[in-house]
Amino acid sequence: MTTTTDSMLSCSVDGAVATLVINRPPANALTPDLLTELSRAFGHCAEDDAVKAVVLTGTGRFFIAGADIRLLASIASAQEGEAIAQQGQAILNRIEALEKPVIAAINGVCLGGGLELAMCCHIRLAAEGSRLGQPEINLGIMPGFGGTQRLPRIVGQSKARELILTGDPISAQEAKSLGLVSHVLPPEDLLRHAQGMARNMASKGLAALRASLRAIRGGHELTLQEGLALEARLFGGLCETEDKREGVAAFLEKRQPHFVDR
């Protein structure tokens, strides 16, 4: 296992799984500096062929409690606010576009920019007792890092409007019932479960992981027929890979496949 630490973010790599831990006491508030560190860390994960899956979590009782209120108070113009929103959106878009599975292990409070960060991850797990929401309306503003766009796509228009317009948080169990998170786990089991899921995914061929994520993400922006055409094209490309030949041979020979990511 290798471990690196920036001032607000630590990264450990165990096998093919990278675990990123946000550590910005007291509440892991989201700031431009933290966003920059996240962007840098995910960039390294994208470039490192040995890393095939990523787990993102926080420390203590907080995933991310929201934006730094002092930063919000300092915004003095529409142009400055728009620029900050665009910076945050661009970084979260790059995380969402990573062609390796990203699992958010939501270990506690996950509000505002924290939920927006979690929603750009491909899979979300939550610890029992976690609270999730978009409370920006209570500050006289609105979500600016993608919350108004990703939340309706995940939970539907009506519930997204309710959560954004009231600012009320929901429990981990309600988040699961809405499809916002996949699993709710005891806090002591959360990270182990997330890393186990990541190891399972990392045991697959990287070409198939990338193509699957590309099809799911790309299909969101296409008509059904266009999405089916994209799926067929990506499926066809995989049929020429060494991993496809190995996977089929292993199944027929009743053994575990040994993928080489080609």
One domain, residues 100 and 45: yes
Task: Please tell me the predicted confidence (pLDDT) of residue 246.
Answer: 86
Regions in the chain scoring below 70 on pLDDT = 1-6
One domain, residues 153 and 211: no
One domain, residues 187 and 210: no
Q: Which of 169, 184, 202 is the last residue of a domain?
A: 202
Task: Please tell me the predicted confidence (pLDDT) of residue 98.
Answer: 96
Tally of structural domains, the chain: 2
The reply to whether 128 belongs to the active site is: no
- CB neighbours (10 Å) of residue 61? 17
Q: Which of 164, 182, 202 is the last residue of a domain?
A: 202
Q: 258 lies in a domain?
A: no
Contact 182, 125 (CB under 8 A): yes
Cα–Cα distance for residue pair 167/66, rounded to 1 Å: 12
Structure tokens at 237: 């490309």
| Domain carrying residue 224 | 206-252
Task: Please tell me the predicted confidence (pLDDT) of residue 2.
Answer: 61
Task: Please tell me the predicted confidence (pLDDT) of residue 67.
Answer: 84
This prediction's pTM? 0.93
Q: What is the DSSP string of the chain?
A: -EEEE-SSEEEEEETTEEEEEE--TTTT-B-HHHHHHHHHHHHHHHH-TT--EEEEEESTTEEE--B-HHHHHH--SHHHHHHHHHHHHHHHHHHHT-SS-EEEEE-SEEETHHHHHHHHSSEEEEETT-EEE-GGGGGT----SSHHHHHHHHH-HHHHHHHHHH---EEHHHHHHHTS-SEEE-HHHHHHHHHHHHHHHHTS-HHHHHHHHHHHHHHTTS-HHHHHHHHHHHHHHHTTSHHHHHHHHHHHTTS-------
Q: 147 lies in a domain?
A: yes
Structure tokens at 101: 């599975």
Q: Which of 202, 220, 243 is the last residue of a domain?
A: 202
Structure tokens at 162: 């309710």
Place of tokens 């450990």: 12
One domain, residues 60 and 161: yes
One domain, residues 120 and 225: no
Q: 158 lies in a domain?
A: yes
One domain, residues 24 and 88: yes
Catalytic residue among 116, 128, 240, 242: 116
Q: 174 lies in a domain?
A: yes
One domain, residues 168 and 195: yes
Q: 260 lies in a domain?
A: no
The reply to whether 136 belongs to the active site is: yes
Kindly report the CATH number assigned to the domain that includes residue 83. Answer: 3.90.226.10
Place of tokens 């990123």: 20
Contact 167, 112 (CB under 8 A): no
Structure tokens at 24: 């910005």
Task: Please tell me the predicted confidence (pLDDT) of residue 70.
Answer: 85
Task: Please tell me the predicted confidence (pLDDT) of residue 261.
Answer: 84
Q: 43 lies in a domain?
A: yes
One domain, residues 119 and 242: no
Task: Please tell me the predicted confidence (pLDDT) of residue 47.
Answer: 95
Task: Please tell me the predicted confidence (pLDDT) of residue 251.
Answer: 92
Q: 259 lies in a domain?
A: no
One domain, residues 225 and 157: no
Rg (alpha carbons) of the chain, rounded to whole number: 19
One domain, residues 221 and 145: no
Catalytic residue among 47, 80, 136, 231: 136
Kindly report the CATH number assigned to the domain that includes residue 244. Answer: 1.10.12
